[in-house]
Every structure is written in structure tokens, then in C-alpha cells.
Chain A
């Protein structure tokens, strides 16, 4: 599966001189709570047919303890935040005296929602992330303050909505009205940025499975977001991760919640079409 991968650019050169370390993704099966088997590797969606054969969840690129942590809800620290969001789900906020449950009933009614976001919103005439949709609910239906895009309250709620979809395959629409946004996201994915002149693809398409110093490069799939990271002991949003990656190329980054990152999120999500929703996942 590596024969169609090429090592390119400055980074590739750096790795070559240091001795290229190959570390394959681990062969393992993710069974959640000894019940639900999740799809963590599957055939690549049609639009990626000429770049990779198989899409692989970031879970396969992490250590044995980290993988085990995610397989059990009690051991998964991300589930603490899910529980906190469950309380918020049922608590009225804002001038209308409504909670999430006033319109949506139980949080399990959200099953399948995370799998199809970002998604075209006909009324607004734009592609929206789940965060944008939640803030729309808060402002226009509840009369409540918007949440900070990458903040704790927001990511807790995303984790709750994601947790009830675990096992549902990611299936974002890339055609129809979403197509132009998707094309923009694809453009961004392959655009080199920063002093290091790296695009997303240079690491996550050309070099996944290789070590970048002590880090095991994954395909950069986002089916596991929000991610509980052991390094900062909190839930991390997709856009915060994008920002971190772009910053690491030594570029000025787009802002979380910006149109650019929304387009990129749609494109990157579509690269994982077919993988199970995993969030909140555990990574290092």
C-alpha cells in the first residue's frame, strides 16, 4: 500500500538524511464497550481513488494504552465532558427559557447527525459546521449567548452529539450545493503554506505511517473529533487542530470558525467517508 506514496519536498529530504523510519498503522480492532465494533479502516471513497486505497482512523496510529482507553467509556476521559454536556442539554438557557431538549427531546435523538456534518444549510445558503448550527440554535431559538467556537462548552456539546453517533459511518455530501465549498477545501488541502512550505497532503497523504521525529503521522482523519488529548487533558476541536497544523508550517493561520476552515473541514471529513464516527476519541 505504500508503493504509490512518494516522499517529496524539504521535509522528505530531512527524513531521508535522518534515516526514514517506517511504522505501519497497528493491526487491531476497535470494539467499543465490548459491544460495538467500529469501522476504523475501509476502502477509500471514490473521490480519493487515485491517491490512497484505504482510509485509516488515527486510532491505528496510537499506542496500545491510548487505544485501550478509547475502547471503554469508563476509561475514556472524553466521556466526562459528554456527561457535563448531557446536563447542559437539559438545562434551559437564554431569553426563551428553552433547553436543547425542549425541541430535540433526548440527546440520543441526535444519532447520525455528526456523521453528515459539515452540511449545506439551504436557509442560510452556506455550508455549516455543527458548531455553527449549535450557535444558530442558541442565538435564534433559545435567545442565549453564542459559545466560543473552540471553547469548552461548545466542544462538550459536540462530544455529546458525536458520542450518540459512534459506529455510524461518516457520510458528508460533497456534491450539489456543497460542491464549490468542497472544491475550495480540496484546494486548501493541497496548498503549501508557511516557511516550511507544507500542505496537509505532504504529511497526511504522502507520509502517513512514517515517523516525524517522535510522532507517528496519521492520515489526519477527523472522524474521531472532538479529540481528548492526553497532552492537554481537554477536548480539542477540528478547527483548533487545523490551526495547530498550519501554525506548525510556520504560517499565519486562518481563524477557527472561518469560511476557509469550514471548507477544509468538509473536504477532510469527506476523506473519511465510510469510517465510523468515533468522537470523543483519545489521542496523545
Chain B
């Protein structure tokens, strides 16, 4: 498992039904591209987050494929429509097989 990986998300706590809300996510990750060489000239193996998904109450909101050109600590900002109260589930998939998960609840008033 890559070192120091920590997911963070920012979701409003409340919204009105049918509102579009802004979600921000950030995961600390070195995103080693696989193109760089170390001091001895050996290739440093690729180690990136290759997929990110967000689901709301089991329904997919966004599903992203990440490529090696994406910089360190990938940040995503996107909008989602919330019809009802529920949970956003966020999942990041690491090249090494690790899966990082976090979730946030939102209440529709």
C-alpha cells in the first residue's frame, strides 16, 4: 500500500430536494507515473490511483478513469443532484490493489 494515502471529501450537510450540490474530493497520493527513473537509472514502477467513483444511495454519480499524467494528490470537483436524504459513497482504486473508501451523509430538508 502506498504511504500516507488519505481520502478527504467535502459535501454540504443539507440541501433542498432536487438541488445541485458541489462536491469536492481530494486524496493524498504520490501518483508515480512509471516514466521516471531513479538515481541508478532504473524505472520507478507506476503507482497511481487508476479509478475513482462516487455513488449516491447505490446509484452511480461519477466514474472516472485516471491516467499516469494526472498530478500528485488528485482533486475532483463535480456537481450532483440530490432527490432525497442519503449517503454519498466515495471509492478510490490503487494500482497496488488497495481500495480507499469514505462516505458522507446529506439531509434533504
Contacts and interface: CB of A to CB of B under 8 A. Distances in A.
Interface of A: 74-75, 77, 80, 83-84, 233
A40 to B, nearest CB: 24
A74 B8 contact: yes
Interface string B80-96: 00000000000000000
Contacts of A83: 6
- Chief secondary structure at chain B's binding surface: strand
B50 interface: no
A84 B28 CA distance: 10
Contact of B26 (A74, A84, A233): A74
- Chief secondary structure at chain A's binding surface: loop
B104 interface: no
B8 A84 contact: no
Given A74-B10, A74-B24, A75-B24, A233 B4 contact: no
- Size class of B's contact patch? 10 to 19
Contacts of B53: none
B57 interface: no
Nearest to B77: A75
10 nearest A-B pairs in the assembled complex, by CB-CB distance? A74-B10, A80-B28, A74-B24, A233-B72, A80-B73, A77-B73, A84-B4, A74-B26, A74-B8, A233-B71
A147 B78 CA distance: 39
A236 to B, nearest CB: 16
User: Which of A74, A83, A84 has the largest count of B CB atoms less than 10 A from its CB?
Assistant: A74
Nearest to B24: A74
A75 B10 CA distance: 10
Interface string B19-46: 0000010101000000000000000000
Nearest to B10: A74
Contacts of B28: 80
15 contacts: A74-B8, A74-B10, A74-B24, A74-B26, A75-B24, A75-B75, A77-B73, A80-B26, A80-B28, A80-B73, A83-B6, A84-B4, A233-B71, A233-B72, A233-B73
A51 B53 CA distance: 55
B14 to A, nearest CB: 16
Contacts of A74: 8, 10, 24, 26
A10 to B, nearest CB: 38
B49 to A, nearest CB: 15
